[in-house]
Amino acid sequence: MPAPTLDKKQTTFSIWYVIGALFLISLLQDFITARHTLTLTYSELKQAIAAGSLQELVMADGLAEGTLRVEGLEKALPPDKLEQLRAVGGEHRFVTVLVDDPTLVPQLDAAKVRYGSVRESKWLSMLLSWVAPALMFFGIWWLLMKRMGGAGGAGGAGGLMSIGKSKAKVYMQRETGVTFKDVVGIDEAREELMEVVEFLQNPERYRRLGGRIPKGVLIVGAPGTGKTLLAKAVAGEAGVPFLSLSGSEFVEMFVGVGAARVRDLFEQAAARAPCIVFIDELDALGKARGLGGISGGHEEHEQTLNQLLVEMDGFDTSRSGVIIMAATNRPEILDPALLRPGRFDRHVSIDKPDMKGRRQILDVHVRQVKLAPAVELDSLAARTPGFAGADLANLVNEAALRAARQGKEAVDMQDFEQSLDRIVAGLEKRNRVMNPEERRFVAYHEAGHALVAEHRATADRVAKVSIIPRGIAALGYTQQSPTQDRYLLRRSELLDRLLLEKETVDRGMLDFVLAGTAQPGG
Whole-number pLDDT of residue 444: 85
Angle at alpha carbon of residue 284, lines to 280 and 288, rounded to 5°: 120
For residue 5, the Cα-to-chain-centroid distance in whole angstroms is 23
Whole-number pLDDT of residue 253: 60
How far is 113 from 325, CA to CA, in rounded Å? 86
Segments of the chain scoring below 50 in pLDDT: 1-13, 33-35, 120, 150-158, 293-297, 503-507, 510, 513-514, 516-522
Whole-number pLDDT of residue 8: 44
Whole-number pLDDT of residue 515: 52
| Predicted TM-score (pTM) of this structure | 0.61
Cis-peptide into 331, omega within 30 deg: no
Whole-number pLDDT of residue 345: 85
Catalytic residue of the set 44, 249, 281, 446: 446
Dihedral sign, CA of 195, 198, 200, 202? negative
Whole-number pLDDT of residue 22: 64
Whole-number pLDDT of residue 320: 67
Tens of pLDDT, residue by residue over 395-419, are 999 999 999 999 999 999 999 988 9
Tens of pLDDT, residue by residue over 427-466, are 777 777 778 888 888 888 888 888 888 877 777 778 788 8
- List domains and CATH numbers for the chain: 40-120 (3.30.720.210), 169-349 (3.40.50.300), 355-425 (1.10.8.60), 436-514 (no CATH)
- 338: buried, middle or exposed (CB in 10 Å: 19+, 13-18, 0-12)? buried
Whole-number pLDDT of residue 12: 47
Per the CB < 8 A criterion, the answer to whether 461 and 480 are in contact is: yes
Residue from 39, 38, 59 nearest 108 by CA:
59
**446 carries an active-site annotation:** yes
Whole-number pLDDT of residue 403: 93
Per the CB < 8 A criterion, the answer to whether 292 and 301 are in contact is: yes
Whole-number pLDDT of residue 392: 93
